[in-house]
Amino acid sequence: MIYLDNSATTKPHKEILATFLKASEEYFGNPASLHKIGNEAEKLLESARRQISQLLKMDQIVFTSGGTESNNLAILGTADAYRSRGRHVVSAVTEHASVLKPLEELERRGFEVTRLAVDKFGQIDLNELKNSVRSDTILVTLMHINNETGAVHPIAEIKKILGGTRALLHTDAVQSIGKVPLDTDSMPDLLTMSAHKIHGLKGSGVLAFNKVQPGAILFGGGQESGYRSGTVAVPQAAALAKALRLAQPNPLFAEWNRNLREFFGSFDDIMIVSPDNAAPHILSVALRGAKGEVLVSGLQDEAVFVSTSSACSSKNTETSHVIEALNLPPVFREGVIRISFGAFTTQQNITDFQRAFKKVHRIIKGVRNNEN
CB atoms within 10 A of CB 336: 27
CB atoms within 10 A of CB 61: 26
Number of residues that bind other proteins (CB under 8 A): 16
Shortest distance (Å) from residue 38 CB to other proteins: 9
Of residues 142, 181, 143, the one with CA closest to residue 57? 181
Tell me which long-range contacts 308-313 makes (C-beta under 8 A, separation of at least 24): 308/336, 308/337, 308/338, 309/148, 309/284, 309/336, 309/338, 310/7, 310/8, 310/96, 310/147, 310/148, 310/338, 311/5, 311/7, 311/8, 311/9, 312/97, 313/97
208 contacts other proteins (rule: CB under 8 A): no
Q: Which is nearer to other proteins, 36 or 211 (CB)?
A: 36
Shortest distance (Å) from residue 42 CB to other proteins: 8
Query: Catalytic: which of 312, 324, 365, 368?
Result: 312
Shortest distance (Å) from residue 255 CB to other proteins: 31
Per 3-state DSSP, what percentage of the chain is helix, strand, and coil (rounded to 5)?
45, 15, 40
Q: Which is nearer to other proteins, 227 or 256 (CB)?
A: 227
Q: Which is nearer to other proteins, 30 or 351 (CB)?
A: 30
- Cβ(323)–Cβ(333) below 8 Å: yes
Q: Which is nearer to other proteins, 45 or 124 (CB)?
A: 45
Of the candidate residues 48, 162, 177, 337, the single one contacting other proteins (CB under 8 A): 48
Of the candidate residues 87, 134, 202, 245, the single one contacting other proteins (CB under 8 A): 245
Bridge partners (DSSP) of residue 193 are 206
How far is 366 from 363, CA to CA, in rounded Å?
A: 5
51 contacts other proteins (rule: CB under 8 A): yes
Shortest distance (Å) from residue 48 CB to other proteins: 6
Shortest distance (Å) from residue 46 CB to other proteins: 10
The 77-96 site mask, x for binding other proteins (CB under 8 A), equals: --------------------
161 contacts other proteins (rule: CB under 8 A): no
Q: Which is nearer to other proteins, 43 or 258 (CB)?
A: 43
The answer to whether residue 312 is catalytic is yes
Q: Interface residues for other proteins in 7-46 (CB under 8 A)? A: 19, 22-23, 34-36, 39, 43-44
Instruction: Return the range that interacts with other proteins (CB under 8 A); candidates 57-65, 69-77, 114-122, 240-248.
Output: 240-248
Shortest distance (Å) from residue 34 CB to other proteins: 6
With b for 16 or more beta-carbon neighbours within 10 A and e for fewer, the 219-249 pattern comes to: eeeebbeebbeeebbbbbbbbbbbbbebbeb
Of the candidate residues 129, 241, 287, 290, the single one contacting other proteins (CB under 8 A): 241
Q: Which residues contact 83 (CB under 8 A, 6 or more apart)?
A: 111, 138
Q: H or E stretch including 260?
A: helix 252-265
The total number of residues shown for the chain amounts to 372
Mapped onto helix, strand or coil, the DSSP state of residue 185 is helix
Question: Mind telling me the catalytic residues?
Answer: 312
Residues forming contacts to other proteins in the complex (CB under 8 A) are: 19, 22-23, 34-36, 39, 43-44, 47-48, 51, 238, 241-242, 245
